[in-house]
Amino acid sequence: MFLRDQIPGRNPNKILIVISDGLPDNDPSQIAQDLRFSNVVIFCIGVGSNVSRNTLEKVSSFGNTFLLDNFDQLLAAFTSRSLEDERKYEVVVSVNLRQNDLSVNGKIPLKLTLTNIGNKPVPAGSEIRFDGTEHYQKTRKVLQSALGPDESVTLKLDIPTIPKASLRTLPNFIEFEFRDENQKKTIQCDEPRIELSTENFAKGFHDYCPSDPTVESLNIILFGITGSGKSSFINTIFTALSPALELGRANVGGTEGHVTKNLTRFRMREFFNSPVNLWDTWGLDENNYQGELFSQILAGTLPNGYEMRDKVNFTQLGDKNLTSTAHDREIHAVLIFVPISIIDSQNMVNRIKENIRIASNRELNPMVVVTFIDTVPKTDHPEFKKNIAQTLNVPENRVYMVNNYINEQEKSFIIDKQALIVLDDAIRMGEVS
Ligand SMILES: Nc1nc2c(ncn2[C@@H]2O[C@H](COP(=O)(O)OP(=O)(O)OP(=O)(O)O)[C@@H](O)[C@H]2O)c(=O)[nH]1
Ligand SMILES: [Mg+2]
């Protein structure tokens, strides 16, 4: 019945089947252990209600205890091979997946100024209808008073998104065209094309709470090549969640030398109520981050504000307070920053791969964030993305091409949307790590 090759991971010399209908007179666990050490695989079958599963489990090899109600079942088992079926135990893994994209929530608030461009008044009580699309639900607004030719009125309304709409699939603009029953354009909108704002879609992020109750805040680290735009990306994320540009949160500099020189924690809770920390790091160059340094940062051993060094300073690590609070700083998700030109430098490719390996060894699945994509024609982006994924040996769906705010004077939905998608995925990665 028990064939050798059906016993996973073992090549036993002997198999012992213990059948018991009661409690043992003497403790059999020591002799059972000796037998198991000498490569005997032990199966225990308890029959009837007087047996103790606990005792049998101490005797049997792992997972090889079976309980049966009576000897008839035992006989049936031997003839029908049903015991073999029972051995196939299942491992159930449950992952808490959030159903909705963090950024989508109910309504897009609009304020539109409409002008009657026809030659007849539009009477009070007329309906202004917004037809639904694959992203927005149908909605309507009633004119409170008549609108004479050339007259304008300002309407405030909320356009609800459909429940399945996701920030990832929303188009960048809402466009309008108003026609009357005769398909004539009688009303014109001051802004017939309105850029969306991620701020309106961030409710899911504001409501986020780590599913593990022992995690006070989810820690996301930004690590990567010096001058690749890590600190700029922190400002981009702050902007994406705010009504206006927020470019002064993190200190940003030129491409020469290190700008960020300390391990720096940005507690998003202080601004957006969500328990997420972004950890900014000093950049990776050809020689730094020696030895254990990066893995100690990932483990949370180093304090907020820790000054740039090439190696860990172990005397500082002796501090008991740091060890006891490491759990609060332990990193849950890793963003590895590389400029799009990374593939031209074998040396830096190797350094990045070394550190991807360190993160992977801690069972963190690093996401690669590619910056400076504005320095390469858009049409080449897919090719670069594929190349970078292959070169760094990460799946393409974990490579993100982003723009940072550099010279922009106002918010851009496209920049914000990319940043929030990265943040959303980082939170998902952090949740399962
Ligand atoms: N063209 C372009 N410039 C960028 C981009 N991202 C950042 N920059 C510029 O690159 C310079 C370095 O940006 P930082 O955000 O300070 O880079 P960092 O990775 O934090 O640098 P260190 O802290 O020194 O490691 C700044 O002048 C940014 O304005 C980008 O995507 N495109
Ligand atoms: Mg920096």
Residues 20-43 pLDDT 10s: 887 777 788 888 888 888 888 888
Whole-number Å distance, alpha carbon 405 to ligand 1 midpoint, is: 10
Last residue of a domain, one of 159, 181, 196: 196
In this structure, is residue 100 part of a structural domain? Answer: no
Is residue 137 domain-resident?
A: yes
Residues 266, 384, single domain; the answer is yes
- In a shared domain, residues 245 and 388: yes
- Atom 13 of ligand 1, residue of closest alpha carbon: 229
Count of structural domains, the chain: 3
Q: Does ligand 1 have an atom closer than 6 angstroms to the CB of 282?
A: yes
Q: What is the CATH number of the domain that holds 180?
A: 2.40.30
In terms of average pLDDT, the best of 156-170, 256-270, 356-370, 416-430 is: 356-370
Share of the chain above pLDDT 90, in %: 38
Q: Where does the pLDDT of residue 100 fall: very low under 50, low under 70, confident under 90, or very high at 90 and above?
A: very low
- The pLDDT value recorded for residue 247 is 93
19 Cα: distance to centroid of ligand 1 (angstroms): 70
Specify the ligand 1 atom closest to the Cα of 235. Answer: 15
Which ligand neighbours the alpha carbon of 284 most closely?
1
In whole numbers, what is the pLDDT of the chain averaged over residues? 83
Residues 168 and 225 grouped into a single domain: no
Q: How confident is the model at residue 66 (pLDDT cuts 50, 70, 90)?
A: confident
* Residue 10 included in any domain: yes
pLDDT attached to residue 151: 92
Structure tokens at 274: 């969500």
Q: State if residue 29 touches ligand 1 by the CB under 6 angstroms criterion.
A: no
- 66 close to ligand 1 (CB < 6 Angstrom): no
Residue 115 within a domain: yes
Atom of ligand 1 nearest to the CA of 402: 31
Look-up: residue for tokens 């209908």?
Answer: 21
CB 86 within 8 A of CB 63: no
| Residue 151 shares a structural domain with residue 247 | no
Q: Starting from the CA of residue 253, give the closest ligand.
A: 1
Specify whether 70 is located in the same domain as 166.
no
Cβ–ligand 1 contact at 339 (below 6 Å): no
Of 146, 178, 196, the domain-final residue: 196
Say if residue 306's pLDDT is above 70: yes
Residue found by looking up tokens 């924690």 in the block: 265
The verdict on residue 423 lying in a domain is yes
The verdict on 57 and 139 lying in the same domain is no
Position 58 pLDDT exceeds 60: yes
Residue 92 falls inside a structural domain: no
Domain boundary among 31, 57, 87: 87
Give the domain CATH number at 265. Answer: 3.40.50.300
Residue 4, pLDDT score: 42
The better pLDDT of the pair 13, 237 is held by 237
What is residue 9's predicted lDDT score, i.e. its pLDDT?
Answer: 46
Per residue, the 3-state secondary structure of the chain, as one string, reads CCCHHHCCCCCCCEEEEEEECCCCCCCCHHHHHHHHHCCEEEEEEEECCCCCHHHHHHHCCCCCEEEECCHHHHHHHHHHCHHHHHHCCCCCCCCCCCCCCCCCCCEEEEEEEEEECCCCCECCCCEEEECCCCCECCEEEECCCCECCCCEEEEEEEEEECCCCCCCCCCCEEECCCCCCCCCCCEEECCCEEECCHHHHCHHHHCCCCCCCCCCCEEEEEEEECCCCHHHHHHHHHHHCCCCCCCCCCCCCCCCCCCCCECEEEECHHHHCCCEEEEECCCECCCCCCCCHHHHHHHCCCCCCCECCCCCCHHHHCCHHHHHHHHHHCCCEEEEEEEHHHHHCHHHHHHHHHHHHHHHHCCCCCEEEEECHHHCCHHHHHHHHHHHHHHHCCCHHHEEECCCCCCCCCCCHHHHHHHHHHHHHHHHHHHHC
- Banded model confidence at residue 106, pLDDT cuts 50, 70, 90: low
* Ligand lying closest to the C-alpha of residue 341: 1
The whole-model pTM stands at 0.72
**Is position 102 within any domain?**
no
Average pLDDT (280-302) is 93
Whether 418 and 370 have beta carbons less than 8 Å apart is answered as no
pLDDT of 388: 97
Q: Which ligand is nearest to the CA of 236?
A: 1
Residue 82 pLDDT exceeds 60: no
Task: Give the lowest-confidence range in 150-154, 251-255, 338-342.
Answer: 251-255
Q: What is the CATH number of the domain that holds 16?
A: 3.40.50.410
If one compares 131 and 349, the residue with the highest pLDDT of the two is 349
Q: Tell me, using a 6 A CB cutoff, whether residue 259 lines ligand 1.
A: yes
Domain that includes residue 291, residue range: 203-432
Cβ pair 211, 228 in contact under 8 A: no
Question: In angstroms, what is the span from residue 376 Cα to ligand 2's centroid?
Answer: 22
192 shares its domain with 217: no
230 alpha carbon – ligand 2 mean position (Å): 5
Q: Tell whether 387 and 240 lie within a shared domain.
A: yes
Query: Are 162 and 31 found together in one domain?
Result: no
Residue to mutate, 263, 378, 406, ligand 1, most ligand atoms under 8 Å from C-beta: 406
Nearest CA to ligand 1 atom 1: 372
Q: Is the CB of 256 under 6 A from ligand 1?
A: no
For 126-150, the pLDDT digits (tens) are 888 777 777 778 888 888 888 899 9
Name which of 20-24, 63-67, 101-105, 181-185 the model is least confident about: 101-105
Do 42 and 157 lie in a common domain?
no
Closest atom of ligand 1 relative to the 252 alpha carbon = 16
Ligand 1 atom with the shortest distance to the CA of 404: 31
CA angle 46, 51, 56 (to 5 degrees): 60
pLDDT in the model for residue 2: 43
Centroid of ligand 1 to alpha carbon of 395 (angstroms): 25
Q: What's the CA-to-centroid distance between 403 and ligand 1, angstroms?
A: 11
Does residue 313 share a domain with residue 257? Answer: yes
Is pLDDT above 70 for 104? Answer: no
In this structure, are 317 and 389 located in the same domain? yes
Maximum average pLDDT range among 11-20, 49-58, 91-100, 234-243:
234-243
pLDDT at residue 96 is higher than 90: no
Q: Is the CB of 371 under 6 A from ligand 1?
A: yes
Residue 83 covered by a domain: yes
* Ligand 1 lined by 230 (C-beta under 6 Å): yes
Atom of ligand 1 nearest to the CA of 224: 19
